[in-house]
Amino acid sequence: MQEKSEISLRFGQKVREVRTSRGLSQEQLAELAGVHRTYIGMIERAEKNITLVTMQKIANALGVKIIDLIAC
């Protein structure tokens, strides 16, 4: 089993926090970001090592900067 990286864990937790604070479902966020709905869940659980392009899509969909999703 692959160990989850700290940055992936932080990013996923923050995505979930911001998404729920905006009242969005994973499916709604996926649609806004242009990714598959199951991908959001995998990101939130730190099961995927995503690209910067996908990070930017998610940040844009949430209306935040990437740094806001990875900062402590």
For residue 15, the enclosing domain spans: 6-70
Q: How far apart are the first and last CA of the chain?
A: 26
What is the C-alpha to C-alpha distance for residues 1 and 53, in angstroms, rounded to an integer?
A: 26
CATH of the domain at 34: 1.10.260.40
pLDDT of residue 71: 79
Cβ contact 19:30 at 8 Å: no
Q: CB count, 10 Å around CB of 41?
A: 16
Residue type, 13: Q
Kindly report, residue by residue over 9-37, the tens digit of the pLDDT. Answer: 999 999 999 999 999 999 999 999 999 99
Does the residue 60 lie in any domain?
Answer: yes
Cβ contact 62:55 at 8 Å: no
Does the residue 1 lie in any domain?
Answer: no
- Structurally, how many domains does the chain consist of? 1
What is the pTM for the complete model shown?
0.90
